[in-house]
A and B are shown apart, each in its own frame.
Chain A
Amino acid sequence: MAVDSKTVQKVALLAKLKVDEDKVEATKDEFNKILKWIEQLNEVETQGVEPLVSVNEEHLVCREDEVTDGNIKDKILANAPESEFGYFAVPKVVE
């Protein structure tokens, strides 16, 4: 499945990245090279094979419902590029 320039731009948009106009072609070519390479997998017969989700065979263990965390507002905000009145601040979001 080869991708076109439009798809490259769409994927970039999904990933919140920008591909400069003059680099779209090159990115597309490189992308297709990698896709072609990974498509070797099509040679493998996988009918009836269960996808491997987790190599860890132990089941999920839950924690008890206790409040053990939080109340660390200063630490939460310590690395914020912009914060005001105890909130993180971003440019106005309009729905």
Chain B
Amino acid sequence: MTDLTDLTIAEALSAMKSKKISAEELTKAYIKKTEEGRKYNAYVLETPEVALQAAKVADENYAKGTERALEGVPMGIKDLFCTKGIRTTACSHIIDNFIPQCESTVTQNLLNAGVGFLGKLNMDEFAMGGSNETSCFGPVVNPWSKDVNLVPGGSSGGSAAAVAAKMCAAATGTDTGGSIRQPAAFCGITGIKPTYGRCSRYGIMAFASSLDQAGPMAKDVKDCALLLKVMAGHDEKDSTSSRKAVPDFTKVLGQDVKGLKIGIPNEYRPQGLNKDVEKAWDAAVDMLKARGAEIIDISLPHTKYALPVYYIIAPAEASSNLARYDGVRFGQRVDGAHLDDLYINTRTQGFGKEVKRRIMVGTYVLSAGYYDAYYVKAQKVRRLIQNDFKNAFEKCDVILTPTSPVSAFPIGDKSMIENPINMYLNDVFTVSVSLAGLPALSLPIGLSANGLPLGMQLIGKAFDEETVFKTAYALEQDAAFKRI
């Protein structure tokens, strides 16, 4: 028998339905991989008993013929999603003992569909980072690493690494400025950040509320389509969640892309763009062209301002969202003589360096006298960035860009540790999409000269994940990327 962890979710579901394999066998295979893969530090908490219990229920449902959409699928959950009764930490010392008393809507949707949770996945602290190095549980190792340990990307680094190393059938991720797409690209897997409002944010520890979106990270496009259908949907507990109906995304997979207008933004090809990345991009363009898609040059003129806008808005919102971590109602407390000392001691010792840096920047840009110069200015440019996309989508149906300007880099890279801006620059291709609230998927397209995965990003119109999936599926067929 082949390794069950090689199966995609679609394959595993059909194997379980036809009783070729049981949910228990599948789950055990992943648990074994999880144990073997501990060197990657992808899981911060393993919950094999939880997954096995779910598998038991799943097998009963298969026996009765009452199986649900994702019955018996073992998944890993980013440690930003509150899971009832299962420790949830955002990979921050400040709440490293937190046991949620309720379930996030997205994970509840997965549970309702029959998913079992293998454990909680490592990430950058409060999703702030692009390399998973800010986690209080230490960095995650990219399974593609050879002689040098490479980062898996971030912030959903544990999720990407776990999927790549087959330590789960799929994982949840969250994306604020690229946190699903960039690690997916670095680890050679597929991930989609849906349109803002598609997935409920209820029960996900907030980083930047106007940007945060949950999404699936999986082995291929079809699995992402299956998962997103289950994860998404209106939630009355989240006032920003959309009431638009969620289509069956798998229906469009395999549809012809002939005549589809693919936008190629000029601004994403700066001078000195990494040659491997450029080559992969050109190859992807050729694949779509060969299928009869129309390639359109477009312009997104405010692209270069997306990063500074993001690094005003996201820290501003974060500075407020993270105020609740004060040592009073939950989490770690570091005592003080007065309440103020308690706050200061708790927060200074509980938060890591990058989180504190962003809280400081966010606090400053909102403070009296600077609000208009920074925050309001950023909101205005954010509008211009959104308008750029609106204009571009007058001319094209979907936009194709690289996901990241680089492939995975070594853990502990000096230039990035010494200058956080160098780290921020890695998000250059992903943040504008987040600011505009659009759906974007990253899929592996090929390998760099030194054998590391490169990702392509497909950006769609708001709530048009279908075109994104359709195009991605076509590219996936042609790229025939070999997973680990």
A and B touch in the complex (CB under 8 A): yes
CB closest residue in chain A, given B378: A41
Cα distance, A75 to B329, chains bound together (Å): 11
CB atoms of A14 and B363 under 8 A apart = yes
CB atoms of B344 and A49 under 8 A apart = no
Cα distance, A79 to B309, chains bound together (Å): 36
B203 at the interface (CB under 8 A from A): no
CB closest residue in chain A, given B335: A91
Contact of A38 among B99, B308, B437 (CB under 8 A): B308
Contacts of A60 in B (CB 8 A): 239
- Given the contacts A63-B236, A91-B339, A52 and B373 also touching, CB distance less than 8 Å: no
Chain B contact surface mostly: helix
Cα distance, A40 to B435, chains bound together (Å): 17
CB atoms of B340 and A31 under 8 A apart = no
CB closest residue in chain A, given B387: A49
Residue-wise, chain A 69-95 has the 8 Å CB interface mask toward B (1 for contact) of 000100110111110000010111100
Residue-wise, chain B 189-228 has the 8 Å CB interface mask toward A (1 for contact) of 0000000110000000000001000000000000000000
CB atoms of A88 and B384 under 8 A apart = no
How distant is A34 from chain B, measured CB to nearest CB, in Å? 6
Contacts of A58 in B (CB 8 A): 197, 242-243
Contact of A49 among B311, B328, B380, B462 (CB under 8 A): B380
Contacts of A55 in B (CB 8 A): 196-197, 210, 386, 435-437, 462
Cα distance, A8 to B378, chains bound together (Å): 22
CB atoms of A61 and B348 under 8 A apart = no
Q: A8-B360, A31-B360, A46-B380 are in contact. List 6 more A-B contacts (CB 8 A).
A: A18-B344, A38-B374, A43-B305, A55-B462, A79-B330, A90-B328
Q: Provide a sorted-by-A list of 27 A–B residue pairs whose CB atoms are within 8 angstroms.
A: A3-B364, A8-B360, A11-B367, A14-B367, A15-B347, A17-B351, A27-B360, A37-B421, A40-B308, A41-B308, A44-B305, A49-B381, A49-B383, A52-B382, A54-B240, A55-B196, A56-B240, A56-B242, A56-B437, A60-B239, A61-B239, A72-B101, A79-B101, A80-B330, A81-B331, A82-B333, A91-B339
